[in-house]
Amino acid sequence: MTHFRISEAAVLLGVSDDTIRRWSADGALDASVDASGRRTVTGASLARRALELAPDPGEPGTMRRSARNRFTGIVTAVQREGLVAQVELQCGPNRVVSLMTAEALDDLAIEVGSRATGVVKATTVMIEAERR
Q: Residue 85 belongs to what domain range?
A: 69-120
Which CATH number covers residue 96?
2.40.50.100
Please report whether residue 81 resides in a domain: yes
Which CATH number covers residue 49?
1.10.1660.10
- 84 and 45 in a single domain? The answer is no
pTM of the prediction? 0.54
H helices within 42-84, ranges in order?
43-53
Following DSSP, what letter does each residue of 75-129 receive, concatenated?
EEEEEEETTEEEEEEEETTEEEEEEEEHHHHHHHT--TT-EEEEEE--S------
CA distance 39 to 3: 10
Q: Which amino acid is at 46?
A: L
Please report whether residue 130 resides in a domain: no
Q: For the chain, how many structural domains are there in total?
A: 2
Show pLDDT as tens, one digit a residue, over the chain (132 residues). 788 899 988 888 888 999 999 999 999 999 999 989 999 999 889 888 887 887 665 666 655 555 567 888 888 899 999 999 999 988 877 788 999 999 999 999 988 888 888 888 777 766 676 666
- 46 and 82 in a single domain? The answer is no
